[in-house]
Structure 1
């Protein structure tokens, strides 16, 4: 709410959104309600001013439902652009020599990334760029990103960890890779997990050739740097 109050002090207005979904018996998700919230005019200690919208197809209610979904999509896009999608490789390029095994592992993945990132900084995420003008306004988007990254953890970005954190997957020893999806009709997770674990096995096999123990990792000055 403090950030929303500051954002809405500019020429751009937005809402905090919360979406409630129902997992149906057929394994699909259906939207039940969207809550849009604004800061309380008397201060954040009074909570938020909220309104709930439910699915509708006709008349004014249908238009309001579409508008509520749009605000959710904008917020989701903002999180994706400002948080999920951001990554940088200067540490890898600056600390690992070209003959280092991890550099060789990552180099094909990082190819052209610096060039693309430089373009993005000049078009999307710079002051008055695409993100600031279309998702979150003006100076607060950079500040919000910095705040979020204070709690950012690389390990938690693993697909299976992210799915468990969002309660759409649970540990299950009887399922492939010891993971069971709560939502079976979820192509992103079904296909993504197959790709994830295939890549993980390949990377693990590659790294274990050079690093037999944790101590070897600790004694590698380039990795530690």
Structure 2
């Protein structure tokens, strides 16, 4: 018995109503994905999580250290960029709240993602979670 693969080309439906509903659904998915990407993956996991490290590096690492010199190009304008983003992009009634799908819940969505992102970092909770501590 020989196997003959089926070659099928998928095209949009002939009925324009069905086609427009598919495009509308695709647009909703894309806009929701854009909101999650910009708020969670870009702002929270790139900009916001690096601020404490930048501040500590400037406060406690001398400018003569090689690590400091390697990090400076990456950190030079990050705090200023984050401050401007807080003012115009992620503030209440900012650009993101006015134009992204989550609307007024975008900041709350980022806060929930931040809360769920971090594991318990305290030593007793960490040991119990790994099965090494007493319950």
Same fold, judged at TM 0.5 (above): yes
Please say if residues 83 and 145 of structure 1, whose CA atoms lie closer than 8 Å, have aligned partners that are also in contact.
yes
Task: Evaluate the alpha carbon distance shift between residue 119 and residue 61 of structure 1 in structure 2; reply closer, same or farther with a 3 A threshold.
Answer: same
1:95 aligns with 2:56: yes
Match for 2:31 among 55, 74, 87? 74
Task: Evaluate the alpha carbon distance shift between residue 93 and residue 100 of structure 1 in structure 2; reply closer, same or farther with a 3 A threshold.
Answer: farther
1:131 aligns with 2:92: no
Please say if residues 54 and 75 of structure 2, whose CA atoms lie closer than 8 Å, have aligned partners that are also in contact.
no
1:162-201 aligned at under 5 Å gives the runs: none
Deviations 1:106-163 (A, max 9, x none): 211122222222221121111011111111111x21111111112336xxxxxxxxxx
Unaligned runs of 5+ in 1: 1-31, 33-54, 154-225
Deviations 1:9-64 (A, max 9, x none): xxxxxxxxxxxxxxxxxxxxxxx9xxxxxxxxxxxxxxxxxxxxxx5465111111
TM score, norm. by length of structure 2: 0.63
Unaligned runs of 5+ in 2: 1-9, 119-135
1:147 aligns with 2:133: no
Number of residues of Structure 1 aligned to a counterpart in Structure 2: 99
Task: Evaluate the alpha carbon distance shift between residue 102 and residue 58 of structure 1 in structure 2; reply closer, same or farther with a 3 A threshold.
Answer: farther
Higher helix share: 2
Higher strand share: 1
TM score, norm. by length of structure 1: 0.40
Within 1, Cα distance between the matches of 2:31 and 2:54?
Answer: 34
Within 1, Cα distance between the matches of 2:85 and 2:109?
Answer: 18
Higher relative contact order, structure no. (Cα contacts within 8 Å, ≥ 6 residues apart): 2
Residue aligned with 2:113, SS: helix
RMSD of aligned C-alpha atoms?
2.2
Mark the structure with the bigger radius of gyration.
2
Please say if residues 57 and 63 of structure 1, whose CA atoms lie closer than 8 Å, have aligned partners that are also in contact.
no
1:111 aligns with 2:76: yes
